[in-house]
Chains A and B, each alone.
Chain A
Amino acid sequence: MTIVYEKSKGLTDVPFHYCPGCTHGVIHKLVAESLVELGVLDDAIGVAPVGCSVLAYKYFNCDMQEAAHGRAPAVATGIKRVHPDKVVFSYQGDGDLASIGTAEVVHAAHRGEKITTIFVNNAIYGMTGGQMAPTTLVGQKTTTSPFGRDEAHCGKPIRISEMLATIDGAKFIERVTVDTPANIRKAKKAIKRAFECQIKGEGFALVEVLSTCPTNWGLTPLKALEWLRDNMIPYYPLGNFRDFGEGK
């Protein structure tokens, strides 16, 4: 009898506090599995954000540091420069990275910091109760846009991956999602490649993962995955925007 799948050694025994069906859990697994498979779990240092994944430091089985809201890439920069032989990553949501922390991630990418950022985009502020985020889609109802996001008033949602792909210091940028087992496998490949980018000393790497928020979207976990497929993927196209191996 061979084990085909079991809980990753890269995760602690602490049960996730996430709502039922929240895909943060899937993304945590992929990061943990990638670190284990690349053999760098013992050398990894993660930086947790503010937002739903604020307690990520309890879940990853490696050294972790909490950062102020949006400042994870700046904290990761400091850690990486003091410990250049460690594998340093930040794990951030869209309220953290695409709003209050945009300056930090843009400049970390611009400086070509050799860190890996996992960017979880669920188009809403989850922890604080479902407010409109910069990534909220036009027409999407949230507690602060009860009639749907109005483009004339709030502009269009920000596409972080496309923006960062214009920066030379960013060596690996890819957008993935975790709505099906096939897409989860692709997402893991991208996350591993983003860590390889850092391990090979190429430069800044970011993987944007389209995620769900069943609770604040007001949908069941399964309906939320459908909503992601029907609404988010058309606006946030999946794919690679920059890869250090292909001269992109």
Chain B
Amino acid sequence: MAKGKVTFNDDACKGCELCVAVCPVKIIELNKEKINSKGYSPAHVTDQEKCIACANCAIMCPDSVITVERL
């Protein structure tokens, strides 16, 4: 299985959670310990090792917050 790396442009995130819902390996959640410049808790990855670089999260994100790389 391909390995991937997901990076978030934190300040563009509006915390809508659409990426959270479509991740097949369930590794995305909102980072409740952080608040971005818009006042939202941005999404982040909990276990990068499990990422399979499917890019579902990035395709679903309305604000183009997410960049996905295949390792």
Which A residues fall within an 8 A CB radius of B?
1-8, 11, 15-16, 18-26, 29, 180-181, 184-185, 214, 220-222, 225
B21 contacts A181, CB within 8 Å?
no
Given contacts A21-B16, A185-B59, A221-B17, contact A4 B68 (CB under 8 A): yes
Indicate whether A3 sits within 8 Å of B69 (C-beta atoms), given known contacts A11-B64, A23-B62, A181-B22: yes
Chain B residue nearest to A30 (CB atoms) is: B59
Query: Which chain B positions have C-beta within 8 A of A22?
Result: 62
Cβ-closest chain A residue relative to B38:
A15
The answer, yes or no, to whether B50 is at the interface (CB within 8 Å) is no
CA of A8 to CA of B63, assembled, Å: 11
B interface with A by C-beta (< 8 Å)? 4-5, 9, 12, 14-18, 21-22, 40, 53, 55-56, 58-64, 66-71
- Inside 8 A of A180's CB, which chain B residues have their CB? 22, 60
Q: Which residues of A contact B61 (CB under 8 A)?
A: 25-26
Q: How far is the CB of A110 from chain B (nearest CB, A)?
A: 34
CA distance A229 to B23 in the complex (A): 19
16 further interface pairs, Cβ-Cβ under 8 Å (given A15-B63, A21-B14): A1-B69, A3-B68, A3-B69, A4-B4, A4-B58, A4-B70, A5-B66, A5-B67, A11-B64, A18-B62, A21-B17, A25-B61, A25-B62, A181-B22, A181-B60, A222-B18
List chain A residues, Cβ under 8 A from B68. Answer: 3-6
The minimal Cβ–Cβ distance linking A105 to chain B, given in whole angstroms, is 25
Q: How far is the CA of A25 from the CA of B55 in the complex (A)?
A: 16
Whole-angstrom distance between the Cβ of A61 and the nearest chain B Cβ: 12
Smallest CB-CB separation from A11: which chain B residue? Answer: B64
Identify A8's interface contact among B64, B66, B71, CB under 8 A.
B64
By a CB distance below 8 angstroms, the chain B residues around A26 are 60-62
> Which A residues touch B58, using CB under 8 A?
4-6
Inter-chain contact B69/A24, CB cutoff 8 Å: no
> Smallest distance from the beta carbon of B4 to chain A beta carbons, Å?
7
Query: Which residues of A lie under 8 Å from residue B15 when comparing CB positions?
Result: 20
Are B62 and A21 in contact (CB-based, < 8 A)?
yes
CA distance A19 to B56 in the complex (A): 21
A20 and B18 CA atoms in complex are apart in Å by 9
**CB-based nearest B residue for A32:** B64
Please name the residue on chain B nearest to A214 by beta carbon: B16
Q: Which residue of the partner chain A has the closest CB to B55? A: A5
Task: List chain A residues, Cβ under 8 A from B67.
Answer: 3, 5-7
Please list 17 pairs of residues, one from A and one from B, whose beta carbons are closer than 8 Å in the complex, sorted by A's number. A1-B5, A1-B69, A1-B71, A4-B58, A4-B68, A4-B69, A6-B58, A8-B64, A16-B62, A18-B63, A20-B14, A20-B16, A26-B60, A180-B60, A181-B22, A184-B60, A220-B17
- How far apart sit A225 and B67, CA to CA, in the bound complex (Å)? 23
